[in-house]
Amino acid sequence: MKRQENKNSKWRNLIATTAMSLLMGGVFIGANVTPAFAQEEAPVAEPRQFGAKAGALVSAAQDFMAADQTSAALTEPNKALALEDISSYERGIIYQMQGQGYYELGQLKQAIGAFENAIGSGGLLPNEISGLRVQIAQLLIVDEQYVRGAQMLEDWDRAGGELKPAHIDLLVSAWVQAERYRRALPWAERWFNTASPKERKHFDLLNFLFNSLEMPAKQADIVKQMINRWPEDRTLWDAWASMLVSGGREDEAFEVSKMLYLGGAYSTPQDFERIVQYYSYYDMPYQAAQILEREMNAGKIQQTSDKLVQLSDLLRQAREYKRAIPILEKAAASSGKGKLFADLGEALYNNGQCDKAEAAFKNAMERGFDRGKAWSLIANCRYDSAAGQDRLNCLMSDTEKKAAPWTALRAHAVSAFDNVPASSREASNARKWKSFIRAESKAFTDRCIFQAKVKQERCFIAIRQAYSNEFLAGRFELGDDTCTPYKAEFDSLYRQNRAEDEN
């Protein structure tokens, strides 16, 4: 957008000089008058010649003008106008001479007034009046009375006057300087269509007007033509990409930017940062990280803490946690910010390095990072570490269960959740986690008790069956050796009561 504003300013500055350049050397743009336009004024019936007094003064004025004594020359027409009984024709010619003198001195308003007086004298022919009107229109534009001057030229065109290319150029200049772009557009298109050969300025003007009038389709067409003519011009490609974005065609804009980057057209940090943002926006964080890292290493993007953080974020989005860690370590060490140490802790956590993650989170808390969030992440890391350990089984003794890493890490997780401040937003979640861990432990204990009871009942059935078969077999035979430990308990519960009954 800034580049476009600069271009607009450049155009206005260029056009501001156009009208004056058209009038350089004291020569107005000539005008051809058609018969239809000439009929606007009634023919003059009086003689078209000077009397002796007025003629002498006019001749003296011409001599002063020839000697480049313009100020002195202007005194003579004033004397002539003061004469009695001068004709309308003489008055018209004298006012024209006066207007030319004022113009030579750069006194445009006075020149305009003199030429208007010449028209009002009643002594000029229609074609002379027409020519003066075109000259007045030009002077108005040079005098920055853009709207009035442009309207006079348009009126003259509608009345049948023949506009030369330079007149059209002047009309475009006037309407653009007045910021009346919609009025300028048809004249600019006419100027463009009749230009042969077409130069860069013709294309630039239409591009400027289409952009100012928010006509993206027409602007796209002109920019395409310009790219074909000047493919090496980066500003055209940038304008093309910008139009694609404005038109909701971001995918195509990305392809244009990608082509420029891969073609080596980019050179500024802003260019490289924009292509990184494009890749990130289109969910390609790994490619974005590659470009950012490459250009930082090449010195084309300054390696600041913020850029290191951006690089680490992109790598983490791409699940490249291991690569993100040394970058985050560097960024955290250089900035000393708690948030960066917390980000480092998360990266270490995602990489399964809980001890280092815990150290990073503690560094973050020392620098003011949210204690509730930090301790929750430490607790989660400890809990996740327990999942990688051998799980408990019901055959283990109570001592073995308590000493197992799985049990110790889960207990450490609970103690970390205990450190979450009650006022923290994480407190409720921490309580739920502790309840879940305790419920999980209880479920394991209940499962072991259930399994033991099932085993006991199955073995009691087997022992009872063995006793029933003892009369036939002549001996006690227990087919399942794993049930032997349950025989004493079975006997104490059932055989002792039976013996007492028999006695």
Query: In sequence order, what DSSP letters do the residues of 243-270 get, joined into one string?
Result: HHHHTT-HHHHHHHHHHHHHTT---SHH
- Specify the residue for token string 């890493």: 405
Domain assignment present for residue 448? The answer is: yes
Q: Which pLDDT belongs to residue 239? A: 76
Domain assignment present for residue 300? The answer is: no
Examine the pLDDT at 260 and tell me if it is beyond 80. no
Q: Which pLDDT belongs to residue 230? A: 85
Examine the pLDDT at 175 and tell me if it is beyond 80. yes
Q: Which pLDDT belongs to residue 23? A: 39
User: Domain of 481?
Assistant: 382-502
Domain assignment present for residue 475? The answer is: yes
What is the rounded average pLDDT of the residues 355-371?
92
Confidence of residue 380 (pLDDT cuts 50, 70, 90): very high
Examine the pLDDT at 5 and tell me if it is beyond 80. no
Confidence of residue 29 (pLDDT cuts 50, 70, 90): very low
For 33-85, the DSSP string reads --HHHHTTSPPP-S-----HHHHHHHHHHHHHHHTT-HHHHTHHHHHHHTSTT
Greater confidence, 266 or 175? 175
Domain assignment present for residue 389? The answer is: yes
Domain assignment present for residue 175? The answer is: no
Q: Which pLDDT belongs to residue 51? A: 64
Burial 17-29 (b: 16+ CB within 10 A, else e): ebbeebbeeeebb
CA distance 488 to 482: 13
Domain assignment present for residue 458? The answer is: yes
Question: For the chain, how many structural domains are there in total?
Answer: 1
What is the rounded average pLDDT of the residues 37-44?
40
Q: Which pLDDT belongs to residue 19? A: 35
- Among 150-159, 257-266, 474-483, 486-495, name the one with the lowest average pLDDT: 257-266
Average pLDDT, the chain: 80
Examine the pLDDT at 469 and tell me if it is beyond 90. no
- Specify the residue for token string 């006022």: 423
Examine the pLDDT at 11 and tell me if it is beyond 50. no
Domain assignment present for residue 252? The answer is: no
Examine the pLDDT at 227 and tell me if it is beyond 90. no
In this structure, the chain runs to a length of 503
Q: Which pLDDT belongs to residue 184? A: 92
Domain assignment present for residue 400? The answer is: yes
pTM of the model: 0.47
Examine the pLDDT at 95 and tell me if it is beyond 90. no
Confidence of residue 497 (pLDDT cuts 50, 70, 90): low
Q: Which pLDDT belongs to residue 320? A: 87
